[in-house]
Amino acid sequence: MHSDQRVALEKIRTVIADDHDDVGRRVAHRIAEVMRSRRAAGKRTVLGLATGSTPIGVYRELIRMHQQEGLSFADVVTFNLDEYYPMDPGSIHSYHRFMWENLFDQLDIPQANVHIPRGDVPREQIEAECQRYEEAIQAAGGIDLQILGIGRTGHIGFNEPGSGRESRTRVVTLDLVTRKDTAADFFGEENVPREAITMGVETILEAREILILATGEHKADIVRRAVEGEIDHEVAATFLQQHGDTTFYLDRAASAALTRIATPWLLGPVEWTACLAVRAVVWLSHQTGKAILKLTQRDYAEHHLSSLVARHGSPGALNGEVFNALGTKIRGRSKLPRGTRIICFSPHPDDDVISMGGILHKLAVNANQLTVAYMTSGNLAVFDHDVRRHLDFIARLAAERRIPEAAAVELQCQVNEFLARKQPGDVDTPEVQDTKRLIRESEAVAGIQTLGLEERSARFLNLPFYQTGKVKKDPIGPADIAIVRQLLDELRPEMVFVAGDLSDPHGTHRVCKEAVEHALDEYVAAGGTRPEVWLYRGAWQEWSVTEATWLVPLSQEELRLKIQAIFKHQSQKDTAPFPGPDEREFWQRVEARNKGTAAELDRLGLAEYFAMEAYVVET
């Protein structure tokens, strides 16, 4: 690939890291470099900081460097990008509290050096507060290094679509997409503030250096728009193209739509691998609207792929090779394991049936030794009205003398008293958390029984990292890994399924995968045989036919059975507490994506199936 072509297309310098954690380490180390350089020059460092899940890894690495390497923040001054309005600083939703809990409390930074927009000032004082914030930045000498994230609308800070380049710190009305994306943190969109105070675009661009972070495939399209698109006031991040020292830090998932990653052959010569050839031919099939076996020399020439044909000798040879490569990915029940010890690790108590309900049924029919290990309770994703409904049922049983009445009445009174005074975001009492956990456990058992598994196939690990009662979870720790390792030691699986998607809006899937990986490493180091690891996707995405190692066909009856298993999770039915950016019900997403995968093969000219699940085998 010609590097000058890539640079010309990418209007913002872009660094692609291995994963979310690597992004955090790289950015933290760059911050440390700036701090040390400024300190050596006898100057203090002024940092612009951001909130949200993306910079958490940066802050954890900075804390580690402070505690283990002596990196001091005693002379550092910070200014945060934004804050909701109105917002009490002590609220669990406030960015003030977020920053102290996730960074400042673990550093030696003086409280007077920390600046966060105030979301608790009276409305008539907001304009003066914003002006004061701008003046404080100028008085500190301006921002040396600004950290940014990017929203799905391309906003930086809370500079929503329509924000002007000349904008300064001000009150803004939050975009509908932003409020939907934030709804989970506030336990419902109706609880999300409609306004926020944010640094303006001009304020951000005055920083001497800017680092903007993005992780996860759900950010891939907006990243490409920001990096490769034209400057557009509807996409505030595109203004960063006018900054002299901005760097985008991406994990591989967030970089997937960049031209150099998605279609590198459009930029110049490439080194053709078997995988890249399959991707290119499938892309060409889409561009031309032709099945793979009908692609011609002219099609390849007109789309800059002549070198690929030359490598294979003729279009016919290339078409046949790719056609066969895709065909060999298809695995019906006869090609799936029999009598094998298998663990399906499910981050939440419905990911198993949503993501791999079809193959679970096939594996059960094939008489495998199946265990579904639910890694978290998922109790956060149960509405309070479901708790009331279940407790009402228990109270009615008690009233008919079918269970002891005193305990049932006491529990119902305790729970109803708490729920009556509960505010959005309040942490549930242990009684409420346990009730929600049991609701999800009973639904999980009903789900796998629908697929032909037995109740004893369900194991509820209830990993500690999840048990905060809040959307924000703890990092994975030794206790979490030990629980997973114990299950591996007990069952000695020959095959495991793990959630491998990177679009989970709260990162629970990613964290659970990390726990499994650490436990597997310990298990193998202790003499265990590493099982074959199959990765499935969650409720938001599916592996493409080019990414997938195996494609598992589902009949109409099997897809219907899978959907029936999803229906058993009634607490997630109709309207899930955390639906993500896609407002459709989980079963609707599943039906669309499984049918869509099958339709994709049909469009490419392969065999026609009713529906398909896709999996990637780790190597």
Alpha-carbon span 535 to 328, nearest angstrom: 18
Specify the fold of 3-260. Answer: Rossmann fold (3.40.50)
Retrieve residue 237's tokens: 């991040």
- Asked whether 497 and 464 are in contact (CB, 8 A), the reply is no
Q: How many CB atoms lie within 10 A of CB 406?
A: 8
- E runs forming strands in 491-584: 495-499, 532-536, 550-554
Q: Containing H/E element for 299?
A: helix 297-302
pLDDT over 90 (residue 240): yes
464-515 confidence digits (pLDDT tens) = 998 875 556 677 899 999 999 999 999 999 999 999 866 554 578 888 999 9
Count Cβ atoms below 10 Å from residue 362 Cβ, excluding itself: 24
Same fold for the domain at 3-260 and the one at 333-381+435-617? yes
Q: What is the DSSP string of 423-483?
A: -TTPPPPHHHHHHHHHHHHHHHHHHHHHTT--GGGEEE---GGGTTSSSS-PPP-HHHHHH
pLDDT at 133: 98
Name the least confident of 123-127, 483-487, 516-520, 538-542: 538-542
pLDDT confidence of residue 2: 45
The band of 608, judged by pLDDT with boundaries at 50, 70 and 90, is very high
How would residue 581 be classed by pLDDT, with cut points 50, 70 and 90? low
**pLDDT of the residue at 1:** 43
pLDDT at residue 19, as a whole number: 87
CA angle 244/248/252 to nearest 5° reads 160
pTM above 0.85, yes or no: yes
For the ranges 242-251, 498-507, 596-605, the lowest mean pLDDT is seen at 498-507
- Give me the chain's average pLDDT, please: 93
What pLDDT was estimated at residue 473?
A: 64
Q: Extract the tokens encoding 258.
A: 């960049």
Per domain, the residue ranges of the chain are 3-260, 271-327, 333-381+435-617
Higher pLDDT, 199 or 400: 199
The pLDDT of 576-600, averaged and rounded, is 85
Q: How far is CA 422 from CA 395, 426, 466, in A?
A: 22, 6, 21
Q: Tell me which amino acid residue 306 is.
A: S
What is the per-residue pLDDT across 161-213, written as a single tens digit (0 to 9) for each? Answer: 999 999 999 999 998 878 877 776 776 778 889 999 999 999 999 999 999 99
Enzyme catalytic residues:
160
Name the class of domain 333-381+435-617.
alpha beta
Task: Examine the pLDDT at 37 and tell me if it is beyond 90.
Answer: yes
Cα–Cα distance, 38 to 448 (Å, whole number): 59
DSSP code for 78:
E
Handedness of CA 22, 19, 178, 504 (dihedral sign): negative
Amino acid, single-letter form, for residue 454: E
Segment 376-400 shows an average pLDDT of 91
Judged on CB neighbours under 10 Å (0-12, 13-18, 19+), 341 is: middle
pLDDT at 467: 83
Confidence of residue 403 (pLDDT cuts 50, 70, 90): confident
